[in-house]
Structure 1
Amino acid sequence: MAIYRDAPYPPCHFTVDLGTGETWSPNTGLLEVVFPEARLVVADYRPGNSKTPEPQKVQTGVEYGTLILRRTVNGSLDWYQWWNEFRNGSTGNTRSVTIHLMNEDLSNVVLTWKFFRARPVNHLFSNLTGLGGELFVESLELAFERLEME
């Protein structure tokens, strides 16, 4: 349940559950979450006998962008293995992904996003460089069928 307050919450305290129930492990500590766009799809409709020239707007569906997760590379293969299941034709291992925004001392969940029937559609790594000084980052892009907030 969302916790409202007058001051804004910082975006740097959050947990992510990739449908495994785990939120406090090295595999779930993420650098960044890029939220998708959520859009209502509307079509123009105007019957031929309408007395006005303006079409009516009729909602025909909902479209979502993709959810992008980024973490530093720690040797874990869990993201690759999930992506690889779908690459090899699996259709049944979708997951419910939950993201919690936490307060500053991590004692309370203040906002929750739930992405239902999520599946990986893109898996990539940042570039390797001999110069060093940068983090080696793994990204997982997820398509999903429904978004809920609480």
Structure 2
Amino acid sequence: MTDINYPIPGFRFAVSLMKKDGVNTGQSKQYDNNFMEVSGISVEMPTEEFQEGGENRFIHRFPQPLKYPNLVLKRGRCHASSSFVDWCKNTFEVGLANGVTPNNIVIKLLGEDMEPLFKWTFYNAYPVKWSVSGLNSQSNELVIESIELAYQRFEEELK
């Protein structure tokens, strides 16, 4: 475990697709795709409010099951293909005809030496949305594609 006594920059990270059996679909030390942004790494415990009859000083709040937002991956659009792209493409082109195949997604936050500092594993993830940024002939911007993944839960591991 690396002893870290300073805030970690969030610009070195890697995303990889893992089969449900835990086998990485990419080559060793190489990651499936390079993304420019990852968001949605959060968990929330919603509460249900209940006002007790005759008690006007407060409202009871009861915890509900955990809630996870979609994991959003953004990158510049390119022609490169990978097992990740193929998996997403197959999900959207075939739809529910062959069923949705959930996989695990691993995101690693990398240090200066490109070794993992933190690792998040998102279990039973599957693509739910794919979008491309708007096209504008009067701007000089990259075409950005966004992939949103629903998932069951995630675990964080300090490396």
**TM-score of the alignment, normalized to the shorter chain, above 0.5:** yes
Structure richer in strand, relative to its length: 1
Partner of 1:24: 30
Asked if 1:125 corresponds to 2:132, the answer is: yes
Distance (whole Å) between structure 2 residues aligned to residue 90 and residue 42 of structure 1: 37
**C-alpha deviation, 1:47, in angstroms:** 6.2
For residues 62-103 of structure 1, what are the alpha-carbon distances to aligned partners after superposition, in whole Å with 9 as ceiling and x for unaligned?
A: 111111001222213523223334x33444400111100010
Q: TM-score normalized by structure 1?
A: 0.79
- In angstroms, what is the RMSD of aligned CA positions? 2.6
List alignment gaps of at least 5 residues for structure 1: none
**C-alpha deviation, 1:10, in angstroms:** 0.8
Partner of 1:101: 109
Give 1:29's aligned amino acid. Answer: N
Partner of 1:143: 150
For residues 21-76 of structure 1, what are the alpha-carbon distances to aligned partners after superposition, in whole Å with 9 as ceiling and x for unaligned?
A: 22725x5111111124411022234666x978534332221111111001222213
Give 1:100's aligned amino acid. Answer: K
Contact 2:91–2:100 (8 Å) recurs in 1? no
SS of match in other structure, 1:30: coil
Distance (whole Å) between structure 1 residues aligned to residue 30 and residue 141 of structure 2: 24
Partner of 2:76: 72
Q: TM-score normalized by structure 2?
A: 0.75
Distance 1:134 1:38, change over 3 A: same
Partner of 2:8: 9
Partner of 2:48: 43
Distance (whole Å) between structure 2 residues aligned to residue 59 and residue 13 of structure 1: 36
May I ask how many residue pairs the two structures share in their alignment? Answer: 145
Distance (whole Å) between structure 2 residues aligned to residue 128 and residue 24 of structure 1: 31
Distance (whole Å) between structure 1 residues aligned to residue 96 and residue 61 of structure 2: 41
SS of match in other structure, 1:81: helix
